[in-house]
Each structure stands twice: as structure tokens, then as C-alpha cells.
Amino acid sequence: TLEGFTRGAFLVLLGLFKKIVIADGLSETIDPVFSGQGGFSGADMAAASYLYVLQIYCDFSGYTDVARGVARMLGFDVIKNFMTPFYAKSPSEYWTRWHISLSSWVKDYIYLPLALHYLRKGDSKLNEARPHLYAMLLMGLWHGAAWTYILWGLYHGLMLILWSLVKWPKALKPLRKRIPGAFWIVLYFHVTLVSLLIFRATSVEQIGDFLGAIAHIGALDFHLKRPTFATLLAIPLFLVLDHLAYRHESERFYLRWPPMVRGALYATLFTLLLMGLSNASTQFIYFQF
């Protein structure tokens, strides 16, 4: 249909914009820091960590946008895989927004059967915690048989358990309600950032190196290679679009705009895509899985 074709074409454009202009554009800035090359400060590692969150998000969501867009153009409506994940306020909410196809499968076929199994054994905190831990460990192993992925799964499992165990005293519950949602978003964003450092590392020793470098930042002395001009222009535009998708609770928020404004968006994305074609091409991160 015409609607399906135009919607699919926009998803392909958006996905290529994310992948080529942002993810590929950040690669030459980030990769040297994580590869263990010398000459980078703790500030470089901290900056690369924030940029890596953006890179893996744009790389993976860009890949799925292209896949969904091509499918939509051909008449198939494929499940969306991301919905503004870094606006999550808790671990459980994060996994309803990030890699939705995998996390929903793990929930239905691993977590829920385990939860029912341990519920029959007795209502205890340990039996409540085990399904979270086992499901996330298996999700880590799905990515690969490496200690870093096992630790990544263990980390997320522990976050799910800790968030469910923390109970606010009755006297402090009114105070908790006064804490703005932005605080919890920022807090859990940094919890996720640590998990992605574990995910990015190639060994357990490297995880310690990454976290140790950030813990001893010292002076804000940066030696990172500056991203291309197209990437520097694209990042704020993407962050605005992602925020609008969160505010409107829909990835199709732009359809409410007047035709002239939508046309300007399409033209801007296409222009930045052409500018970003000079970025060094890199393999999709998730193709290794």
C-alpha cells in the first residue's frame, strides 16, 4: 500500500541515518579508546562510554529500522524492537524498551516458567529472585560463551533483584513521590552505561581497566578524535527526535506535524545521510550474534 511504502521508506531513511551518520561516525572516536591503546585519559574513557551508549543504540536500532522498513514496504508489519530505552526509570521498564523482541521472548519462555516453578516451591525472596537471575544469565549466554557476557547477564539480573527488594519506609513514601522522574531516568541511565561497558569489554581484566580509568578521571584532558561534521550535526537532531518519541509515547509522532515541517525533516535526514557517506563503514555490532 502507499501508506505502508511511505512509512517503510521513512524507517529505512531513519535507520540509515542512525547507522551511517551517527554509529559509523562515532566509531573512529570510540574504538581506539576501548581497544586498549595508550595515551587516553580517564576523561577520554568517560566520554567514550557516553558516546558508546549512543553508538550501540543507533547501530542496533538503525539496523532494525531498516529491516522493519523494508518489511513494511513489502506489506509485513514487524514488531518494533526499541522504544526510547534510555528514558527507562527501572530495570523492568528498560527491558520493555530495549531489544523488545528478545526480552519479550525471554520473559514468556524463560522467566515466567521459572517464576511459576519457584512459586510452587514456596513464597520467599530467594524464590522470587532466582527467575530474574537465571533468565538474565541465559540472555547473557545468548550473546556468546564468554565471561563478559555472563557478567553482563549477572549484572542485569542483580539490578532487577535489587530494584524489587528496595522498599521505601512508609514515612519516606511521600518524599519519594516528590522526586522528579528525571532523577530516576538519569540514575538508571548510568546503571545501563556500566552494563554496556561490561558488554563492550573483551575480557574481565578489561572491565576492571575501563571502570578504574573512569574512577580516576582527574583533569578533564581529552585526546579523542573529533567526529565528522555530519555526525556532530546529527547527534543533537537524533536526541531531539528520541525525546519527542518519548514525550508522545509513539515513534510516529512526526505524522502530526504539518506537511512542510515533515518535508523539512525528511530533507534534513537525507542531506545528513549524504554528508555521512564519507564516514568509515563499520560492521553492524549485532551481526556477530
Inside any domain, residue 187: yes
Q: Which of 181, 204, 227 is the last residue of a domain?
A: 204
Please report, rounded to a whole number, the percentage of residues in the chain having pLDDT higher than 90: 70
In a domain, 233, yes or no: yes
Catalytic residue (one of 117, 143, 156, 243): 143
- What's the DSSP call for residue 20? I
255: exposed, middle or buried (Cβ count in 10 Å: 0-12, 13-18, 19+): exposed
Res 104: pLDDT: 95
The mean pLDDT value for 72-83 works out to: 94
- Residue 168 clears pLDDT 90, i.e. is over it: no
In terms of domains, do 112 and 190 share one?
yes
Do 114 and 175 lie in one domain? The reply is yes
Write out the DSSP string of 203-214.
SHHHHHHHHHHH
- Ranges 105-109, 180-184, 240-244, 283-287: which has the least confidence: 283-287
Asked if residue 219 has pLDDT above 80, the reply is no
Task: For the chain, give the mean pLDDT.
Answer: 91
> Does the structure show a pLDDT above 90 at 171?
no
Please give the residue range of the domain that contains residue 236: 2-82+219-288
Q: Based on the domain organization, do 96 and 194 belong to the same domain? A: yes
Active site residue 143: yes
Residue 224's pLDDT is 86
Q: Are residues 93 and 200 located together in one domain of the fold?
A: yes
pLDDT digit string, tens, across residues 105-157: 999 999 999 999 888 887 777 888 899 999 999 999 999 889 999 999 999 99
- pLDDT tier, 167 (very low <50, low <70, confident <90, very high otherwise): confident
Mean local confidence (pLDDT), 262-269: 96
Please state, as a whole number, how many other Cβ atoms lie within 10 Å of the Cβ of residue 54. 19
Specify whether 65 is located in the same domain as 29. yes
> Per-residue DSSP letters for 212-235?
HHHHT--S----PPPPPHHHHHHH
DSSP string, 251-269: TTGGGGS-HHHHHHHHHHH
- pLDDT band at residue 164 under the 50/70/90 scheme: confident
Structurally, how many domains does the chain consist of? 2
